[in-house]
Structure 1
Amino acid sequence: MPYDVLIVDDEADIRALLSGILRAEGYETRVAADSDSALAAMDERIPHVVFLDILLLDGLELLDKINNLYPKIQVVMISGHGNDVLSAMKRGAYDFIEKPFKGGHIILIVERAMEISKLRRELLELRNKAIDSSDFVGNSFVINHLRQIIEKVAPTNSRIMITGPYGSGKEMTARMIHTMSRRSNGAFVVFNAARIRKERMEIELFGIEMSGEPRVGALEEAHGGTLYLNEVADMPREIQGRILRVLTDQQFERVGGVKRIKVDVRIISSTAQNLTRLISSGLFREDLFNRLSVVPIYVPPLAEHREDIPVLVEYFIKQIALHVGIMPRMIGDGAMAAIQAHHWPGNVRQLRNNIERLLIMSREDKHNDPISFDLLPSEITDCFPHTISEPDQHIMALPIREARELFEREYLTAQIRRFSGNISRTAEFIGMERSALHRKLKFLGL
């Protein structure tokens, strides 16, 4: 993806010389002869880097305007001597070049400016993602299959629709696709339709122009990179119509604006809702679905890859202990069996939250002792058979055969769930022959 460089100088030969040097290295360049033309060019599309003539009639004033309106742009000053350069640097210029120009030095400055922009963007993303950032953890068949799909589609520029339940890892999938794509040096912008009020959605997505001062939206911010439309099903139909037009020609107007803004963006969408049902009920546009879902990807719930839970738990313990500043703890075998058998309706996100709670609530205990079954919250242990306690004393009224059958039924149900319905692995763990386990399950009506 070529980076966009704007050259602002009142001398045509300087504009042509710099443009030629940068274009030869694959950069996309635009030129402006004065401040008004420069602002109009930035209004049309925000560049990554601006070369600005410090001797322009109002060069320093233009520098101030760029820093106020477009703080993410790196500005490199052209020519100038002594106090002019020093003043520009103090006012926020990234660097400067002097005549006569050296092509290698100019390219080096642009590369460094882009690297600074990338590092700032990555730092912001790391702060936003907090401790949720990671690659997929686990080596189950379904996770390996998902990785293979991501590796195939990432290098393309195709639009992708990611579906799957809440907390399963849809945003992580989108981030992996962006990281492996040719746009990885560009921005990855998250637009979460479920968290934005409907009356603000158009402004946040397309930007706004008020009193001649533009404010960019998510689409412009993602120029040259990837826009991730999270929970796209929550978008009102009027916004869906505008998105459809953007997909057609990659152009739009800001709210309150009249100029057409052209962007180069890859769009990845996701939802946990049933879009087919929403289309049938008229809540989601079928033509938009067809445009967004060129390549569909399904992210499975945690219940479909329970064998990854021990590895996930170990990973989360190390990650949370590092970020929260508490000692890591081991999970005992009984506790791990219960965690693996739980149905986890909130999927990987719910699992991580529970592990964090466990570490915090047990931090006063001896950190060398593993976390035992009795320290788990009741929402996890309720699916496991219990020893006799106050609520379970009804079992005392049963004959030993019926009590044993009750325990065996609960125990085997939990173990089969733990191993995702795999009878062979369940039989191996509990120490029974596979055929004997089949007979037992049939006898218990399971």
Structure 2
Amino acid sequence: MNKPHILVIDDEPDIRSLIRDILEDEDYEVSTADSAVTAQQARHECRHDLILLDIWMPNTDGVTLLKDWSTSGDLSCPVIMMSGHGTVETAVEATRLGAYDFLEKPLSIAKLLLTIERALEAEKLKQENIDLKQYSNTIQEPLGSSPQIQQLLEQARRLGQHDTRILLTGEPGSGKETLARYIHEHSTRKQGPFIELNTGIITSHNALEEFFGREDGDSIHYGLLEKANHGTLFIDEIGDMDSETQHRLLSALESKSFQRIGGHEEVKADVRVIASTRRDLEEAIQNGQFRKDLYYLLNVACLHLPSLKDRKEDIPLLLDFYLQHYIKRENLPKRKFTIAAQQFLSDYTWLGNIRELRNVVQRLLILGIGDEIGLTEVKTTLGESARSVITSNDIPIFYDLPLKDARAQFEKAYLDYHLDQHKGSVTKLAETTGMERTHLYRKLHALGIEFKGKR
């Protein structure tokens, strides 16, 4: 269990020393500051879990300092105010500015420890609520029950007990994020945060700020490495990362420290990194698109997720899971697949893997009627049924379709994939595809691709 880090700000040395001794005896990590200036410096050095702030200090008093943090959006942890000359008005003002509580001096050790415990617990619940809202639309699907997947999950559980970096490979939509979360939940860091970044949806000019944060005067924007401190940072599609960010990330992982953009102090970060890629990184290294040293740093252990067509026995499980999930989440009428429809979908090629399967089930529930989802409805939703069959040479039969039909099949899968990558943003999809937005909207409607529900 990681120790909460508490910053004690008080201009009286005896009080700082006493509080520090008490808190360290209680197994907290403690930093101290004797003024607003040294407090700002301490906050630039690391991200604290709680701050004890004295009101009466020379130059800048505690309420003014709290107000500065509150108005600039830098109040990133609970603040407990302390004073030997406090008034009700002062306590009310401090609470209005965001302080968690107000303690009178001389401090009662029992009350101090109880207030700290409650403040940290309240912050934990607050963060859990934020995470719950953030991931309320994130589907924690099973990866499957096939022998390949069960072996993979066993390897993931073993790796979870060791703090090694892991590289996940596999086709788009094969479940790399789900596996990363599984590793985190079976690791010694499971009580810490799980932070995700898809490098494909950030631009090169803000990638460094996203990773490392930014300092603008006394204002601090915390980056993903600090937010993931004592937890796991999952970097999705790391092969798309630009060269400058690769260089900075390599340095941060090697030294376990970094500087925020615009900052000068070294910030410590205890983070486990799990990265994923759909690309052949060794080929990218040969082409000068990926750093060899970063590749070997990340690739301590490598897990490969097979595509759905290589583990067809998992398809019925996934079909049923998503069927029940969307029925409950969107309050849709109950429906079930006929045996013929399920068998057809089990033989389908699923070029988009689990992501495509999920989208198909959702469309069938939203657009369909009746208690059963039959073969004809499935074929209509998928387009030409021939695309779902694999030839003996492992070549999709839709290659034998007329060019117009085959192109429509490809466009549908292509646009569906990139729309998911961009979280339903048609603007970003237009940039990726090079299509004018009006034409793109018409294309999406013509192909029956839903984009509003992906946001």
**Contact map agreement 1:7 1:15 (CA 8 A) in 2:** yes
Partner of 2:124: 118
In the TM superposition, 1:30-429 aligns within 5 A as 30-57=31-58, 58-67=61-70, 68-79=72-83, 80-134=86-140, 136-362=142-368, 365-366=369-370, 369-376=371-378, 377-379=381-383, 381-383=385-387
Distance of 2:100 and 2:5 partners within structure 1: 16
1:375 alignment partner AA: E
Partner of 1:3: 4
Question: How far did 1:380 drift?
Answer: 7.2
Distance of 2:316 and 2:137 partners within structure 1: 19
Offset from partner CA, 1:144-191 (integer Å, 9 cap, x none): 122212211223221111111111111122222222323223222222
Question: How far did 1:211 drift?
Answer: 4.2
Partner of 2:16: 15
SS at 1:63 equivalent? helix
Question: How far did 1:100 drift?
Answer: 4.6
Larger displacement relative to structure 2 (287-296 or 257-266): 257-266
Question: How far did 1:354 drift?
Answer: 0.7
Question: How far did 1:122 drift?
Answer: 3.1
**Contact map agreement 2:174 2:355 (CA 8 A) in 1:** yes
Question: How far did 1:104 drift?
Answer: 4.8
Offset from partner CA, 1:356-415 (integer Å, 9 cap, x none): 1000001xx33xx21111111234733579xxxxxxxxxxxxxxxxxxxxxxxxxxxxxx
Q: 1:236 to 1:383 in 2, by over 3 A?
A: closer
What RMSD, in angstroms, separates the aligned Cα atoms of the two structures?
2.1
Distance of 1:165 and 1:176 partners within structure 2: 18
Offset from partner CA, 1:61-85 (integer Å, 9 cap, x none): 1112233342331112224442222
Q: 1:55 to 1:181 in 2, by over 3 A?
A: farther
SS at 1:132 equivalent? coil
Distance of 2:28 and 2:99 partners within structure 1: 21
SS at 1:345 equivalent? coil
**Contact map agreement 1:190 1:228 (CA 8 A) in 2:** yes
Q: 1:242 to 1:171 in 2, by over 3 A?
A: same
Offset from partner CA, 1:207-253 (integer Å, 9 cap, x none): 22334433222122222222221111111222211111111111222
Q: 1:157 to 1:380 in 2, by over 3 A?
A: farther
User: Based on CA coordinates, which of the two structures has the bigger radius of gyration?
Assistant: 1
Q: 1:294 to 1:137 in 2, by over 3 A?
A: closer
**Contact map agreement 1:66 1:73 (CA 8 A) in 2:** no
Aligned residues, how many? Answer: 381
**Contact map agreement 1:131 1:320 (CA 8 A) in 2:** no
Q: 1:107 to 1:304 in 2, by over 3 A?
A: farther
Distance of 2:47 and 2:225 partners within structure 1: 11
Give the alignment's TM-score, normalised by structure 1: 0.80
**Contact map agreement 2:54 2:62 (CA 8 A) in 1:** yes
Identity in percent: 34
Distance of 1:358 and 1:282 partners within structure 2: 44
**Contact map agreement 2:232 2:271 (CA 8 A) in 1:** yes
Give the alignment's TM-score, normalised by structure 2: 0.78
Partner of 2:420: none
Moved beyond 6 Å, runs of 4+: none
Distance of 2:121 and 2:301 partners within structure 1: 31
